[in-house]
Amino acid sequence: MMNSSRPTLYDVARLAEVSTATVSFTFSKPDRVKPATRDLVLKIAGEIGYVPRASARDLARGKTGALGLYSFDLFLETQTDISIRNSISASGHTEHFVDSNMTKCMEEEISYPKQFPLYVDEIQRGFEIECRKQGLALILSSSGNPKVDLRDFASRVDGLAVFPGNIDLATLSVIAKRIPVVLLSRFDAGFEWDRIVADNAGGMKILVDHLTDVHNITSFGFIGDTDFPEYAERFTALKNCVETHAHSAVELVDSYDPNKNSEFSGLENLIKTGSLPESLVCGSDQIAFHVLDFLKDKGIHVPGDVIVTGFDGILAGRLSSPKLTTVRQPMEAMGILAVRLLVEHSKAKETPFSVYRMATQLITGESCGCNVPNSQK
């Protein structure tokens, strides 16, 4: 997997006909390099497989003793405005006072289930636990410019696990020539790296079996952005399962992504026309939370008027009202496996790359009609 001769900063500078400082700034301070020059340097670096090292010490011993976990959305930002009062203390220093209302607002902003992807958090927990067992440090990063920042981040670690997002596969291919890479929840890429994914088809089967056998559901709608590979696979699996049960076709109600969309135009139209399906299957728990809020605002009762289900099994689903019926993927185990694969690949010169599909399980809640208190029936 690794080349014995490692391309250097000087090689890139020579081939691009620029100074070594320009190459260095391209990776460390890209805003200080002209776009055309920066693109040329990145192109040359990609062609020869150059990845910068974090320090001369790391270059000398070839190891950083750390693994990296890269995410594109550690949390979803809100627009809450926080103001802080300043004052001058008796010693002359400036003091900043944050009152209880402000701190409460801050805490609510970062703990609100729709704004904090606990899917990422639970995988991170498993990753961190296994790093500790292996005697390795964990470095976290997220960024909006993966083409530059992902490569720079990779220079600081011995192996890299990457969450789904706007991945630049060409950049990732360059990184994979130098350090082992594991993709989490991605199955649409080549075999230059291991991939850890949920058994989406199996998860949808147990969900559909439950809805049809226990709740006698015959009509299904799906909500989720089918441009996103995992949601697309779940939608396809849902359609296949419903067809197996000899029911009607599954309707794509809204191609919804909580990072991009704020409206449920398809769902609103179904409500207006009185044509809601018996169940709404959401591509993720976070989407389901938004759907539950939307239906509540429209006066639609869950599960009385329509069943709503999610996928992922994050903790917030157990705290929602009603409690969410969902398919849980073993997120902590996925983090643990990612570390073990990165360590295995870093020790071996040549190891095969594989897809690891993690078994899922059904978690029943009140949103499908199970476990509903008598007072709410």
CA dihedral over 43, 49, 54, 57, signed as positive or negative: negative
Question: 97 forms bridges with which residues in the sheet?
Answer: 85
Angle between the N-to-C axes of helices 146-154 and 35-48, in degrees from 0 to 180, rounded to the nearest 10: 50
Give the angle 299-274-377 at the CA atoms, nearest 5°.
Answer: 45
User: Higher model confidence: residue 193 or residue 198?
Assistant: 198
Full-model pTM: 0.73
179 pLDDT higher than 50: yes
Give the mean pLDDT of 66-87: 60
Nearest to 284 by CA among 212, 198, 359: 198
302 pLDDT higher than 70: yes
User: Higher model confidence: residue 320 or residue 81?
Assistant: 320
Q: Which residue has the tokens 């998860």?
A: 203
211 pLDDT higher than 70: yes
Which pLDDT tens digit goes with each residue over 240-284? 999 887 667 799 999 998 777 778 999 999 999 999 999 999 999
State how far the Cα of 38 lies from the Cα of 197, in Å rounded to an integer. 35
Helix (H, G, I), strand (E, B) or coil at 107: helix
Structure tokens at 353: 């790359």
User: Higher model confidence: residue 358 or residue 64?
Assistant: 358
Q: How many CA atoms lie within 13 A of 17 on its CB side?
A: 0
State how far the Cα of 206 lies from the Cα of 213, in Å rounded to an integer. 10
CA dihedral over 46, 47, 49, 55, signed as positive or negative: negative
Angle between the N-to-C axes of helices 146-154 and 169-176, in degrees from 0 to 180, rounded to the nearest 10: 10
Query: Which range, of 10-19, 20-29, 97-106, 261-270, averages the lowest pLDDT?
Result: 97-106
State how far the Cα of 163 lies from the Cα of 183, in Å rounded to an integer. 6
In the chain, what percentage of residues exceed pLDDT 90? 42
Q: Which residue has the tokens 């071996």?
A: 348
User: Higher model confidence: residue 157 or residue 147?
Assistant: 157
pLDDT at 134: 86
Which residue type does 144 have? G
80 pLDDT higher than 50: no
373 pLDDT higher than 70: no
Q: What is the band of 145 on the pLDDT scale with cuts at 50, 70, 90? A: low
Q: Residue 305 CB: number of other CB atoms within 10 A?
A: 13
pLDDT at 227: 87
User: Higher model confidence: residue 78 or residue 201?
Assistant: 201
pLDDT at 111: 52
Nearest to 253 by CA among 207, 297, 290, 301: 290
pLDDT at 131: 92
pLDDT at 320: 85
Give the mean pLDDT of 44-53: 79
pLDDT at 97: 60
Give the mean pLDDT of 141-155: 69
State how far the Cα of 239 lies from the Cα of 126, in Å rounded to an integer. 32
